[in-house]
Amino acid sequence: MRLLGLSVLMACLTLFNVARADVLAVDSPAPVFELHDQNGESHTIQDYQGKWLVLYFYPKDDTPGCTTEACAFRDEYKVITELNTQVLGVSVDDQESHAAFAEKYSLPFPLLADTDGIVAKSYGALASLGPVKFAKRHTIIISPEGQVKKVYRSVNASRHSKEVIADLKALRAEQAIF
């Protein structure tokens, strides 16, 4: 009986992992979205066709790790934009929270309010602790054609922007070869 229970558990975990992998398999189309930023402006994935897109999910505005990550992207923003890339931060915080966070740290990129968590869920980045929902610290690099090219599920907030830049350069070089 114990072996049967373990088998059922393993089957469920396998199904969960397969379903999640299917959502964001490299070279698959990135899930579509439409969210509003800290200024109330609408953003869709289609708005960024022809550009690389760094979509980074983070748990909460103005917390230590999230501030470190956002400020690192801010500090590297010129380098990132020179790579024909746009950065978008996404959390379940609302527009007002994003506006205060962006102003406090002079963030030059949009912070998207995913208050219901639907977009975070579609990218495999939604978590919850009881009734509290939040975005996990995950990042997705999306190609100019709208395909998922890199998925980061383990992120070090202080080094992540440099890792993203290195991977963007490698992905762009790979694309130039073909």
Distance of alpha carbon 178 from alpha carbon 164, whole angstroms: 21
Does the active-site annotation cover 66? yes
Q: Which residue has the higher pLDDT, 13 or 138?
A: 138
Residues 24, 45, 53, 66: which is the catalytic one? 66
Which of 6, 100, 88, 79 lies closest to 42, judged by CA?
88
Would you place residue 10 in the very low, low, confident or very high pLDDT band (cuts 50, 70, 90)?
very low
pLDDT digits (tens, 9 = 90+) for 42-53: 999 999 999 999
Contact at 8 Å (CB) between 69 and 111?
no
pLDDT at residue 18 greater than cutoff 80: no
> pTM for the complete prediction?
0.85
For the segment 64-74, the average pLDDT, to the nearest whole number, is 97
pLDDT at residue 104 greater than cutoff 90: yes
Which of 112, 113, 117, 122 lies closest to 94, judged by CA?
113
What spatial distance separates the first Cα and last Cα of the chain, rounded to whole Å? 54
Position 23 scores a pLDDT of 58
Three-class SS state of 45: helix
pLDDT digits (tens, 9 = 90+) for 24-36: 889 999 999 999 9
Would you place residue 15 in the very low, low, confident or very high pLDDT band (cuts 50, 70, 90)?
very low
Contact at 8 Å (CB) between 107 and 161?
no
In b/e form, how buried is each residue of 126-150, taking b as 16+ CB within 10 angstroms?
bbeeeeebbbbbbbbbbbbebebbb
Which domains does the chain show, CATH number per domain? 26-177 (3.40.30.10)
Q: Rounded to whole angstroms, what are the CA distances from 125 to 24, 52, 76, 137, 174?
A: 11, 20, 23, 7, 27
- Please provide the average confidence, as pLDDT, over all residues in the chain: 88
Q: For Cα atoms 150, 156, 159, give the angle at the middle one, nearest 5 degrees.
A: 85
For the segment 54-73, the average pLDDT, to the nearest whole number, is 97
Helix (H) or strand (E) holding 117: none
pLDDT over 90 percentage in the chain: 81
